[in-house]
Chain A
């Protein structure tokens, strides 16, 4: 069964509001990656987190990896219309040969 769960499935926000998507795994992850898929496009790699408790920032985006390496979050501060799209997490399970993708969170931003 699916081992990487992502919530929420959809999020609608007003421009300027914050947004967070959460990713949870039933087992410990070696790393977690985040991807963004713009409408009509394909998933594009954003960032990878490897260390327990790691926090990384990319402008208005903040990525966190949990202490137990079983969960992660992506937070966008003050959303803009350019943030619309679907955000996927992908967890690499320990001793696995490939990552497992979450179902994604689709963000819409109302101007």
Chain B
């Protein structure tokens, strides 16, 4: 079974803090993704990575950065958290699309509240 884990289920931070959200997958997947999910807005892609040290901006990268130093780990960084970044953050991983699939496996999510 593919397992994607996220460092925290719930997190409360203050405005201006630097926030790290960690994601680890155990299936040797090349692709990893960070989404945020807000009511009525579906899944919005923040960043994705298709290899170690490689990253690409998704639809809403502003205010975020990412780090992928090891294949199994993909970190999302909020350099200076703001209240509008209060959201559910979901990490996912998949095999690359040349495999014909891109079936994404999601972690349980981190609900971040910025006060």
In B72-90, which residues have CB < 8 Å from any A CB? 90
**Chain B residue total in the interface (Cβ 8 A):** 25
A-B contact count (CB 8 A): 59
- Any chain B CB within 8 A of the CB of A59? no
Minimal beta-carbon separation of B44 from chain A (angstroms): 9
Task: Given contacts A35-B104, A43-B106, A101-B45, list 7 more A-B pairs with CB under 8 A.
Answer: A42-B106, A45-B103, A50-B100, A97-B50, A97-B96, A97-B97, A104-B43
Chain A residues engaging chain B, CB cutoff 8 angstroms: 9, 30-31, 33, 35, 41-45, 48, 50, 88, 90, 92, 96-99, 101-104
3 closest A-B pairs by CB: A103-B42, A42-B106, A101-B43
A9 to B97, CA, bound (A): 28
